[in-house]
Chain A
């Protein structure tokens, strides 16, 4: 269906039709695999056996750019492709290869995130798999994992994230600087630096930068030749567009960006280049409306552009971001459903000087997002007390249209979080989303994924009441009372609380160790000269990001289930200790039979009627807040592997961006004392556990306001679902904006909204082919609803639905 404009910007029928065609193509293309990158990397790696690894990577990258298939999407104003076909996922054998071979026949049969695999691709991948045996990042991680971490993996307490077998991603290049310099500047500088006295590692780094960027420039010129060739068969407007592309491509990034078109084109190509260079996701665009604005203003002044033509360019750019794809192993894909690449693009907010940063492009980006309404870019908006009502209203209209975007970030809380970490205020004010809800400073943060290691707090809770024994596998890694076996008594609530802190410390220590194992391996395997040279101060230092090149090195883990833990501790405090209506053993018996027997059902009733987090009830919200604090207290003790090696700031913080992990993590956890049934999802981010918030959105916001939100400085995720009817009239929209404005006052970090009713979601489950354009908020990102596995779909449906007359 074609989408209506939110603003009164004129867009002629030809432009609209073309956007519609391109959009339909992105929606309808089936995901597939592409073997080109894998074959070309293998070919190159075979020839570079004894060279420094970073040079091997750079050469393989260059070899790929020189020989990969390139194409220009029909209709598109923007060129650049990461694989041989639209929405095909390339393969990154240097990170991991074994799972691809093992699982390849299952990709077309998956419950969610299905991939088609051609026979030729399969044969290609089989042909190279032996070469990579024992030579990948995953092998290196595997060699170094301790038995303790492996055991924690068996119980499901810890889960090694995708980064144990892929790259890190989660990065925003310094777009303003690189657009202003062009690649040639870096090449020239690197040539000078090589001559100066440098260590062997630094020399290799600059050499790798030169190889990578020279190749990138050649690659861009290939598009020029192609555009020229294609133009021969075309006539009229398309012919001149292709000729323009050809012209741009001959000098693009040989020099600073010359126009808005070049700025957008270069931004998109840097994105694609990063995606080809390294595995991983969340390669983000940062504050696009800020750095693209000078180019826009200049071109408008020159009379080259107007609102309508600019809108068309941005819309094409947004559409093209949906042509990219990556594949994850079956085990990981459960955690991040819906083919996400989390390529965040952010608008609005404050300038580094503290003024409102809204500009004409902020509005145009909202309109472009409205016209595309696809899962990428992952669109977010910053807001603060002086954000103009018009912009908020436009954002709210986009939210109302049901895209789940923009996600709203509250500047006051996010900025305070960063300055508390020691980041100077000007940089903190320049923050942006760097993944789904992870935040950082564009061009100054290294890779900063949340969730190198996932820690399942639901499982920790289950082990807490069983003295450290996992009731499912019977593995006991840790004992709370010093004895082996499940038996444990707590004589008061404080003892129980101390038990929680002990078990949390034990597994967080392990998780940090596990992070470090991944990180150390990535120093070699994720050495990414292209991505590194666009981050301050890596280029000056001659160091990759993983070696410590970035200015700020702030990382976080993914902890899943704080609300389940808080509600459960509250339940035990209340029923076992305060009111003594229940003994721990009675509760444990009810948990182990999943509330099924009559006795268990009676206990379940008592628990159902207790207050739950998310309903604006102090005494339980406070315990959830304490659970957050128990983790925050641990963080100052941890270091990253880059501490002291370059970054000005290097430390851990917290984030609740847990993508869809709350669903599979829940599958591993039996019934919990909060009344949750076995295998049900844990709560998402800092949102209340599904279905337990019964007092509406204001109560949810009040509860969340009691958490130490600004200390969750890498992003606090809150997801809310509203019915379409609660936003249907313009006056309702005003009230929605009032709700957002109140969120500022209440210290809410981040808010994202799904505006879709249960009936529609159920219909989409029944008739997926009719709902290919139904985009939902999953957890910090958006996905096609129908591409999610059934369990994730159910988790979304069971979120409390807000809004009534």
Chain B
């Protein structure tokens, strides 16, 4: 049987996920839990329910299918733990208060979607980028997709955190043309504090990627007061150099809170408690430091 992938979103005309005009495919599931994650709907490799309660007209159609989970007394109240079937629930609402994130797609379906912008890739030297979540969580599925795309001559990039052991995704890494890689901390303690796991595997994978000789764009989200210390950045750069990875560019992405609304709609708390707005941005110093380490570096707006 054809493999099936779980996709949270497909974004065409993506300009900032690799060279040229690209289609970015957001895959579901992620091995990390970054406190500043802006795509919380893609953390788990399972369908997610988003609730847009501002659209609710109190019609009570949902109460009929989920009487235990939902009450409407002047206001929509949902006890997520008691929902039996999120698909039925989403179908029941005429106003689309309930939205399912996560679409099952066959290799064929995804290829078809990715090939739609082929003329744009060709004219702009663009292609397809797998992102997420972290696409390596579905590396088996993506391996098939990537091989097919390569047959069609499409440039493929993999936007990954590298948070799974090498064996899980080495074949995929081998197939793609470009890796977008993220280093959040050099300091392991802080990594555990903010990402809920250690970073050893991430640096090990960096060494593997280096051996493959793959082109890497290292993209780092800079969260003021959290991971913008110069010393930690210096160590990250040194570790990069030590790995011998083929880094063509380092991009610094400013932290943003545009994803906050999604947490509310998913019924999740926003994990980054500290008010990062209060910190003076350290970006200028970071840029200089990275340059002095011999890398090409640029910043990018969210």
The answer to whether A and B come from one shared complex is yes
Q: Does B13 contact A698, Cβ atoms closer than 8 Å?
A: yes
Pick from B21, B93, B94: contact of A698, CB below 8 A. Answer: B21
**In whole angstroms, how far apart are the Cα atoms of A741 and B119 in the complex?**
10
Q: Give the distance to chain A from B11, nearest Cβ to Cβ, in Å.
A: 7
Q: Does A805 contact B123, Cβ atoms closer than 8 Å?
A: no
Q: Does B11 contact A598, Cβ atoms closer than 8 Å?
A: no
Q: Does B13 contact A746, Cβ atoms closer than 8 Å?
A: no
Counting CB contacts under 8 A, is B120 at the interface?
A: yes
The B-contacting residues of A in range 595-652, CB under 8 angstroms, are: 598, 601-602, 604-605, 608, 616
**In whole angstroms, how far apart are the Cα atoms of A702 and B113 in the complex?**
13
Q: Does B96 contact A741, Cβ atoms closer than 8 Å?
A: no
Q: Does B59 contact A739, Cβ atoms closer than 8 Å?
A: no
Residues from chain B with a CB closer than 8 A to the CB of A602 are 94
Residues from chain B with a CB closer than 8 A to the CB of A738 are 20-21, 120, 123-124, 126
Q: Does A742 contact B94, Cβ atoms closer than 8 Å?
A: no
- The residue of chain A having its C-beta at the shortest distance from the C-beta of B301 within the complex is A725
Counting CB contacts under 8 A, is B16 at the interface?
A: yes
Pick from B94, B116, B124, B126: contact of A601, CB below 8 A. Answer: B94
Given contacts A598-B61, A605-B96, contact A739 B120 (CB under 8 A): yes
Counting CB contacts under 8 A, is B35 at the interface?
A: no
Pick from B13, B57, B93, B94: contact of A696, CB below 8 A. Answer: B13
Q: Does A698 contact B117, Cβ atoms closer than 8 Å?
A: yes
Q: Does A745 contact B123, Cβ atoms closer than 8 Å?
A: yes
Q: Does B120 contact A804, Cβ atoms closer than 8 Å?
A: no
Counting CB contacts under 8 A, is B302 at the interface?
A: yes
Q: Does B12 contact A698, Cβ atoms closer than 8 Å?
A: yes
Residues from chain A with a CB closer than 8 A to the CB of B16 are 805
User: In the complex, which of the residues B13, B57, B116 has the most CB atoms of chain A within 10 Å of its own CB atom?
Assistant: B13
Q: Does B96 contact A805, Cβ atoms closer than 8 Å?
A: no
Counting CB contacts under 8 A, is B275 at the interface?
A: no
Q: Does B301 contact A598, Cβ atoms closer than 8 Å?
A: no
Q: Chain A interface mostly helix, strand, loop or mixed?
A: helix
Q: Give the distance to chain B from A435, nearest Cβ to Cβ, in Å.
A: 30
Counting CB contacts under 8 A, is B246 at the interface?
A: no
Q: Give the distance to chain B from A620, nearest Cβ to Cβ, in Å.
A: 14
Residues from chain A with a CB closer than 8 A to the CB of B95 are 601, 605
Residues from chain B with a CB closer than 8 A to the CB of A741 are 123
Residues from chain A with a CB closer than 8 A to the CB of B119 are 742, 745-746
**In whole angstroms, how far apart are the Cα atoms of A182 and B16 in the complex?**
55
Q: Does A728 contact B13, Cβ atoms closer than 8 Å?
A: no
- Over the window 94-114 of chain B, the binary record of Cβ atoms lying under 8 Å from chain A Cβ atoms (1 yes, 0 no) is 111000000000000000000
Residues from chain B with a CB closer than 8 A to the CB of A805 are 14-17, 300-302
Q: Does A735 contact B15, Cβ atoms closer than 8 Å?
A: yes
Given contacts A608-B96, A728-B301, contact A598 B59 (CB under 8 A): yes
Given contacts A602-B94, A725-B301, contact A742 B123 (CB under 8 A): yes
Q: Does B15 contact A726, Cβ atoms closer than 8 Å?
A: yes
Residues from chain A with a CB closer than 8 A to the CB of B302 are 805
Pick from A726, A734, A742, A803: contact of B120, CB below 8 A. Answer: A742
**In whole angstroms, how far apart are the Cα atoms of A600 and B219 in the complex?**
48
Q: Give the distance to chain B from A602, nearest Cβ to Cβ, in Å.
A: 5
Q: Does A605 contact B15, Cβ atoms closer than 8 Å?
A: no
Residues from chain B with a CB closer than 8 A to the CB of A739 are 13, 21, 120, 124
Counting CB contacts under 8 A, is A286 at the interface?
A: no
Q: Chain B interface mostly helix, strand, loop or mixed?
A: loop
Residues from chain A with a CB closer than 8 A to the CB of B17 are 805
Q: Does A616 contact B94, Cβ atoms closer than 8 Å?
A: no
Given contacts A605-B95, A616-B116, A805-B302, contact A699 B12 (CB under 8 A): yes
**In whole angstroms, how far apart are the Cα atoms of A699 and B23 in the complex?**
11
Residues from chain B with a CB closer than 8 A to the CB of A540 are none
User: In the complex, which of the residues A598, A742, A802, A805 has the most CB atoms of chain B within 10 Å of its own CB atom?
Assistant: A805
The A-contacting residues of B in range 10-56, CB under 8 angstroms, are: 11-17, 20-21
**In whole angstroms, how far apart are the Cα atoms of A793 and B287 in the complex?**
42
Q: Does A598 contact B12, Cβ atoms closer than 8 Å?
A: no
Q: Does A735 contact B300, Cβ atoms closer than 8 Å?
A: no
- The residue of chain A having its C-beta at the shortest distance from the C-beta of B61 within the complex is A598
Given contacts A728-B301, A805-B14, A805-B302, contact A698 B120 (CB under 8 A): yes
Q: Does A699 contact B116, Cβ atoms closer than 8 Å?
A: yes
- The residue of chain A having its C-beta at the shortest distance from the C-beta of B94 within the complex is A601
- Over the window 174-202 of chain B, the binary record of Cβ atoms lying under 8 Å from chain A Cβ atoms (1 yes, 0 no) is 00000000000000000000000000000
Q: Does B14 contact A702, Cβ atoms closer than 8 Å?
A: no
The B-contacting residues of A in range 446-478, CB under 8 angstroms, are: none
**In whole angstroms, how far apart are the Cα atoms of A734 and B19 in the complex?**
11
Q: Give the distance to chain A from B56, nearest Cβ to Cβ, in Å.
A: 12
- The residue of chain B having its C-beta at the shortest distance from the C-beta of A605 within the complex is B94
Pick from B15, B94, B96, B122: contact of A598, CB below 8 A. Answer: B94
Given contacts A738-B120, A741-B123, A745-B123, contact A604 B94 (CB under 8 A): yes
Residues from chain A with a CB closer than 8 A to the CB of B57 are 601
Q: Does B116 contact A732, Cβ atoms closer than 8 Å?
A: no
**In whole angstroms, how far apart are the Cα atoms of A123 and B203 in the complex?**
85
Pick from A605, A695, A735: contact of B20, CB below 8 A. Answer: A735
The A-contacting residues of B in range 114-162, CB under 8 angstroms, are: 116-117, 119-120, 122-124, 126
**In whole angstroms, how far apart are the Cα atoms of A697 and B57 in the complex?**
33
**In whole angstroms, how far apart are the Cα atoms of A608 and B94 in the complex?**
10
- Over the window 587-600 of chain A, the binary record of Cβ atoms lying under 8 Å from chain B Cβ atoms (1 yes, 0 no) is 00000000000100
- The residue of chain A having its C-beta at the shortest distance from the C-beta of B11 within the complex is A804
Residues from chain A with a CB closer than 8 A to the CB of B124 are 734-735, 738-739, 742
**In whole angstroms, how far apart are the Cα atoms of A619 and B123 in the complex?**
26
Residues from chain B with a CB closer than 8 A to the CB of A608 are 96
**In whole angstroms, how far apart are the Cα atoms of A743 and B85 in the complex?**
44
Residues from chain B with a CB closer than 8 A to the CB of A734 are 124
- A sample of 19 cross-chain residue pairs with beta-carbon separation below 8 angstroms, ordered by A number, consists of A598-B59, A601-B59, A601-B94, A604-B94, A605-B95, A605-B96, A698-B21, A699-B13, A699-B116, A735-B20, A738-B126, A742-B120, A742-B122, A745-B119, A802-B13, A803-B13, A804-B14, A805-B14, A805-B302
Q: Which B residues are closer than 8 A to A by beta carbons?
A: 11-17, 20-21, 57, 59, 61, 93-96, 116-117, 119-120, 122-124, 126, 300-302
Please give 12 more A-B residue pairs, beta carbons under 8 A apart, in addition to A605-B95, A742-B123.
A598-B59, A604-B94, A699-B116, A728-B301, A738-B123, A742-B119, A746-B119, A803-B13, A804-B13, A804-B14, A805-B14, A805-B301
Top-10 shortest CB links A-B: A738-B124, A601-B94, A696-B13, A805-B16, A696-B12, A602-B94, A742-B123, A738-B123, A698-B13, A605-B94
